[in-house]
Structures are given as C-alpha cells and as structure tokens.
Structure 1
Amino acid sequence: MAGPKEAEGPLKKTFDKTLEDMYYGEKTWEKAEQKIFQETLELAINKASLTSDKIDYLLAGDLSNQIIATNFTARNLGIPFLGLYGACSTLYESLILGSMLIDGGYARYVLVGASSHYATAERQFRFPIEQGVQRAMSAQWTVTGAGAIVLAAQGEGPRITHATVGRVIDFGEGDASDMGAAMAPAAADTLLRHLSDTGRTTADYSLIASGDLGKYGRELVVRLAEEQAVKLSDTYVDCGVLVFDESQDTHAGGSGCACSAVVTCGYILNGMKEGWIKTFLGIGTGALLSPCSCQQGETIPGIAHAVALEN
C-alpha cells in the first residue's frame, strides 16, 4: 500500500492499493500509519492463501516512537511478535532473521514487514510539516505506505539464497537533511563484503538496489565502490530514486521504512514474477539517529543489510 504522492509516481501500477489522503479516515497520522500497516500485513497473509493462525512469527517495525504502528498492529493480529528497529533497513533486517528462523527449523511461515508515514516521520525527526520549513536540496521525502512478505519453508516464489548482515558505519555526517550521505558508507561496506564473502560480482545480479539513499547517496556508493575497483553499472538503482519522479519535487528522492518496502514488495517482486529480474540483491539502508541523539550533537551512524533473491 502507498500514499497519494507515491500514487502519482512512476511505480503506481505496482501497488495493490493507494490512498486518496494522508489521514485514511483516521484522526491522526499515527493512527493512519497503523491502519495502513495492518491492512498491508493482512493482504500479504491473504495473498499467501493463509490465515493468521498459520503464521509462526511476525517480524516487523516502523519509525514512530518505540515502533508504535507495529506494536498496535501486532496487538490486533495476535501473531507471536518480534518487534524490530533497523530504521529504514527494517524490512531487510526482518527478511534475514525470518529466513534464518525458517532455515533453522523454528518456523514454517514468517510474516515480515515495515511501514512509514511522511507526516509522522517529519515531525519526529525534523520539523512538523505545518511549520512550512524550507527543505534542503539534499533532503528526501519519507514514503507513506507499507510492505509485507510471507516467508515460507516451501513454495513457488523467489528464494532467499544469501544474506549479509551490516555493520554500523559512521563517517561523521550529522545533517538530518542529508541522510543519503550518512547511510552510503554502510551500503558500500555491506555490498563489498557481500561480494567478497560469496565470491560473486555485480554481474551475477540482474538488479542491485539500495533502500533509500536518494540520488546523492547513490552517487556516493558508486564512488566508494569504484575506489575498491568495483564498477557499478546501470543495474544498480536506489528505491528512493525509483519511487518518485523528479517532477514531484521530492528533492533527493524517497526515504523511510516504506521506501524499500513498497518498491521491493511491488516493483521488484513483480519483476521477478514476470521474469525480467532473475537475480536480485537488495541492500536495506538505515540511519540510526533519534531526536535525542540529534539534540546531543551526535553524528548519524548508518546500517545496511543485504539480501539476495533468486528465481
């Protein structure tokens, strides 16, 4: 599911449902996000021809204080729940942990997902949108929406074949309006370690996508990879660049937990189903800051988790 601005973007046809307004019939943006997330998780369960009692674990998270959108959704669904916070890398963190639970024999079905909302994230991490604060050109637009995936021990869908857990990397970036620069070093580090660990090259993947670096963060990853003699071609994209069109005035592109979630669950998985993506490497990226850390003058640590999907 995606919000009204996302519905105006180039990926509109890849979403199951889009909203006409940001409140979605609720009195607050936070309640709207929780409603969006719950409907998305329920939609994933229905698509898998399952019921919630068949799901062994729910692994999910969001950006709102103490992942409240996820917590209240879990309260309503009644599925054994492990709440996760990897900032905007949460979907990929949940994919890794969920596949490990299944591979270890601890589960047959695991539901994973992530959500975000432009208005809830902006007033928590930057400025309330009612203030009309002028946004820097390096700033990104938090995606409103949610994505969810049912992982299974057996099935006909793409398989998770490899995963690389990220390290926290901090190059000293402290500008909350330039998240791409803060997360890019972690994305490059995870990508390079993934290739080294697996013995693969970028040519082994039909498509490589980072989570929400935006156009400037993507450029930094390309440069950092080239310094290590790894050439990234046009098959390397960023979900934050894909989700919006330049005419929509989102500056550097999209961000938020829902950025990689809606692009992966829609555009990417549709591409694998259609066959034009055969091997995919997704690198979920996250900026591990909080309002508290910003007020204390801290820099912004980055994290990135990589997951390989293959038909």
Structure 2
Amino acid sequence: MNKKRGQQSIVFASPPVITSAANIVGPMEGDGLLTEFYDRILSDTLDNNSSWEQCESAMMEWAIKTAVTKETSAIDDVDYVLAGDLLNQLMSTHFALRGVGRPFLGLYGACSTMVEGMLVGSTLIDGGFANKIVAAASSHHDAAERQYRFPTEQGVQRPMVSQWTVTGSGAAVISVIGNGPRITAATVGKIVDMGLKDPNAMGPAMAPAAVDTLWHHFEDSGRQPTYYDMIYTGDLGSVGKALVIELFKEKGVDLSANYEDCGCMIFSKDQDAHAGASGCASSAIVFTGYIYRLLMQQKLHRILLVGTGSLHSTTSYQQNESIPCIAHAVAIEM
C-alpha cells in the first residue's frame, strides 16, 4: 500500500493504537473548564521545586511515567520517547528525560510539539522500527513568560489579543497493538509566514498555518471536514479560531459546525486569560484528558487534531524578524 498521500500526508497501513494517556496541570488550569479530566492538579506553580523550570521538568517526568503505568507496562517496554517544550535547548524536557532513562528524540515544534511527536512516533511504529513510544509535551506559564516576554513579577499589562501559556504536561503511549483509538493518518505541515511580528498575537500568526495544513489534509485524503466528529486546533485562542473559520469561509467551506480550538477550552471567561490558552501543554492536556476520554467512551469516533506552533524566538524578535508558523495534523479514530 502506498502510505504517502498527496503532497503532505501519510495513511498508516497498520494504524498505531493510543493505549493510554496522562496529564498534570497547574492550579489555574485546575480551576478551569476541564477540571474533571486532569490526573493531577498542582496546588502551586512550584510544587516543592526551587524554580519554575524544575517544576516543568518534574511535570513531564510524572506525565510520562504515569501514562506508562496506566497501561500496566514497564518503562523499559518503551522503545522511544519523543518530547519537547518551549524553553531554549528543550531544557525542561532534557532534565525530565534524565529521570526516565529511555531512548529519546527531542522535538521542537513550539506548541505543535505534541502532535509532531504523535506523528513521528506513529511513523516509527507503522514502519516497524518500534513497538511502543511515548509522545509528550510540556509548558509552564512563568518559565515561558520569563524567556519570551517579561518576568511575571513586573506585572506588565497584556493586550487583549494575548493568550495565557498553560502550566502542565501531557503524555500518550502509542503502541503497535492494544485497545484504544488508532492514529490512521497524518499531515505534515510546512512553514507559513504572513509577515506578522507581534509575539503577543500568536493566534492570528498561526491561523494561516492551521488552514494550510487542514486544506492539504482534506485534499490529500479526499475527506471532507464532515468526515470527522470534531476538528481540534491546538492553541489559536478565540482570535485565531475565528480567523480559521473566516479563512475557510473564503474557500467556500463552513468549518464552524464541528471545529474547536483547545486554547478556548481550558480557561473560563472569568479567569482573565484574554484570548485563551497557549503553549505546548494546551493541546497536550486537552487531548490526553478530555478528548481521549471521549474517544474511549465512544462519544467521539473520528477526530482530527492539529497542533499549531509559533516558531519565533527571543533572538528572532530582537532582530525584527516576522513569525514563522507551522501546523501538523493526526487523524484519530475509534
């Protein structure tokens, strides 16, 4: 069977199975809309660590080990861990994996990292190069703010278009056999840069990349948006979500009936998250909690998960560069 479809997509001959998932979140996320779908909620953003960065590493290590334990596997059964975060040189991930002790591939796709890990891991399994992998991602609001914007102690006022970086981590175990939803197809995104330069407005920057990947997924697969019960983007927030719907309307497609953004699902309106949630953990905690549970309960049967990433850095911002963005998609079916 020809596994490559169209320009950017893959159809898996032996679709890998997502056999377990786990997540951990900070206190603000725990007070939000999806409280019942989290495995562990921290009481504060340090959780007995000496820095926010150490807390993020501890969250990822906990999520990975808990996902494996839920599956009743041993950590030594995991062939590879594919994981990443937002910080320079994947700092949080590298220290987390120090305590996991399994072969590891570090990924940087900004907030698209969780889906990128699921995509690459599924390709390894379908190709016969692994029997079991873990895909994981993390972010921490205070650590990310300190790197990308201003230390939170300064109390800098945020514009209404800005989003709140999620404190949390999610991990999914993907196996060659087992019970659970299967990853049946994937679409690899490409860089889309519309020339926007405001790092506070990531939703509008990323939305065209999400539209590009979605459009090519539908073209490559021959599927219509109605094929899926739900289509989820990772962290476009309310502004980016509205832009995706509008851009699809210009193409003659109404996406609004079965489309939602994970960044709009985490915080309630009274939590002052402005345009919604962002960060690597946005799609990671929503998928490993809410979406995965609905799939296992067969309340959802077919979903398309699109990880969205804003690939700017402090260096590129200081050099007055625009913001390159990317989106990757995985089709998941019960």
Q: TM-score, normalised by structure 1?
A: 0.99
Summarize deviations over 1:259-309 as a string: whole Å, max 9, x none.
Answer: 000000001001101111110000000000000000000011110001000
Q: Partners in 2 of 1:127 and 1:264 — Cα distance?
A: 29
Identify which of 164, 168, 175 aligns with 2:198.
Answer: 175
Q: Structure 2 counterpart of 1:150, which letter? A: V
**1:234 is paired with a residue of what secondary structure?**
helix
RMSD of aligned residue pairs (Cα, Å): 0.6
**1:286 is paired with a residue of what secondary structure?**
strand
Residue 227 (structure 1) shift: 1.3
Identify which of 261, 276, 288 aligns with 1:253.
Answer: 276
Name the residue aligned to 1:188: 211
Q: Partners in 1 of 2:146 and 2:322 — Cα distance?
A: 19
Q: TM-score, normalised by structure 2?
A: 0.92
**1:163 is paired with a residue of what secondary structure?**
strand
Name the residue aligned to 1:101: 124
Residue 48 (structure 1) shift: 1.2
Q: How does 1:75-224 map to 2 (within 5 A)?
A: 75-224=98-247
Residue 234 (structure 1) shift: 3.1
Aligned length: 311
- Please identify runs of 4+ aligned residues in structure 1 that moved more than 2 A: none
Name the residue aligned to 1:62: 85
Residue 124 (structure 1) shift: 0.7
**1:299 is paired with a residue of what secondary structure?**
coil
**2:242 is paired with a residue of what secondary structure?**
helix
**1:304 is paired with a residue of what secondary structure?**
strand
Identify which of 290, 302, 322 aligns with 1:299.
Answer: 322
Name the residue aligned to 1:227: 250
**1:77 is paired with a residue of what secondary structure?**
coil
Q: Partners in 2 of 1:235 and 1:270 — Cα distance?
A: 18
Name the residue aligned to 2:51: 28
Summarize deviations over 1:136-170 as a string: whole Å, max 9, x none.
Answer: 00000000000000000011110000100001000
Name the residue aligned to 1:18: 41
Summarize deviations over 1:18-38 as a string: whole Å, max 9, x none.
Answer: 011000101100001111110
Q: Structure 2 counterpart of 1:198, which letter? A: S
Between 113-122 and 230-239, report the one with greater CA deviation.
Answer: 230-239
Name the residue aligned to 2:19: none
Q: Structure 2 counterpart of 1:108, which letter? A: N
Residue segments in structure 1 that go unaligned for 5+ positions in a row: none
Q: Structure 1 counterpart of 2:34, which letter? A: L
Q: Partners in 2 of 1:201 and 1:122 — Cα distance?
A: 38
Q: Partners in 2 of 1:274 and 1:56 — Cα distance?
A: 28
Name the residue aligned to 2:4: none
Residue 233 (structure 1) shift: 2.2
Q: Partners in 1 of 2:58 and 2:118 — Cα distance?
A: 22
Residue 78 (structure 1) shift: 1.0
Q: Structure 2 counterpart of 1:303, which letter? A: I
Residue 98 (structure 1) shift: 0.1
Q: How does 1:279-298 map to 2 (within 5 A)?
A: 279-298=302-321
Residue 69 (structure 1) shift: 1.0
Q: Structure 2 counterpart of 1:217, which letter? A: G
Residue 229 (structure 1) shift: 1.5
Q: Structure 2 counterpart of 1:229, which letter? A: G
**1:134 is paired with a residue of what secondary structure?**
coil
Q: Partners in 2 of 1:231 and 1:276 — Cα distance?
A: 23
Aligned-pair identity (%): 50
Q: Structure 1 counterpart of 2:225, which letter? A: T
